Amino acid sequence: MRRREFITLAGGTVIAWPLVAQAEVKALLVPRIAYLGASSPASLDPRQIEQFKVGLIENGLIDGQNVTVDYLWGEGSPDRLRQHAADLAKRNLSAIVTAGPQPLRALLEAKVSSPIVFAILSDPISDGFVQSLARPGGNITGLSMIGTDLESKRLQILKEGVPGITKVMLLHDPTMRSTVGLERAQSGASGLGLEILVGKVTEVDKLGDIFAEAMQQDVNGVAGLASPLINFNRKRLIDLCSQYRLPSIWEAIAYIRDGGLISYGPSFPEMYRRSAGYVAKILKGIKPSDLPVEQPTKFELAVNLKTAKLFGLEITPTLLGRADEIIE
Chain segment 226-244, per-residue pLDDT in tens: 888 899 999 999 999 999 9
Q: Do 311 and 175 have their domain in common? A: yes
Query: Are 138 and 234 in a shared domain?
Result: no
Residue 308 in any domain: the answer is yes
- Please say if the pLDDT value at position 321 is more than 50: yes
**Does position 89 have pLDDT exceeding 50, yes or no?**
yes
- The answer to whether residue 9 sits within a structural domain is no
Please, which pLDDT band fits residue 2 given cuts at 50, 70 and 90?
A: very low
At 42-52, the pLDDT tens digits run 999 999 999 99
Does 105 map to a domain?
yes
> What pLDDT, on the 0 to 100 scale, is given for residue 147?
67
What average pLDDT is seen over the chain?
91
126-181 pLDDT, tens per residue? 889 999 999 999 999 999 988 668 999 999 999 999 999 999 999 999 988 778 88
Q: Is 12 part of a structural domain of the chain?
A: no
Locate all alpha helices (DSSP H) within the chain, ordered by sequence.
Answer: 19-29, 46-58, 78-89, 101-109, 150-161, 180-191, 207-216, 228-232, 234-243, 253-257, 268-283, 305-311, 317-322
Does residue 220 come out as left (phi exceeding 0), alpha (psi in the -120 to 50 range) or beta?
A: alpha
CB contact set of 77 (below 8 Å; sequence gap of 6+): none
270 vs 205, which has greater pLDDT? Answer: 270
On whether both 39 and 112 belong to a single domain, the answer is: yes
User: Is the same domain home to 79 and 202?
Assistant: no
Same domain, 215 and 285: no
Instruction: Quote the number of domains for the chain.
Output: 2
Band the pLDDT of 34: cuts 50, 70, 90: very high
Domain limits for position 310: 150-266+300-327
Q: At what angle do helices 46-58 and 268-283 cross, to 10 degrees?
A: 40
Residue 8 inside a domain? The answer is no
The string over 271-305, giving b where at least 16 C-beta atoms fall within 10 Å of a residue's C-beta and e elsewhere, is: bbbbbbbbbbbbbeeeebbebebbebeeebbbbbb
**79 and 156 both lie in a single domain:** no
Q: Do residue 170 and residue 281 come from a single domain?
A: no
Say what the pTM is: 0.86
How confident is the model at residue 1, as a pLDDT?
40
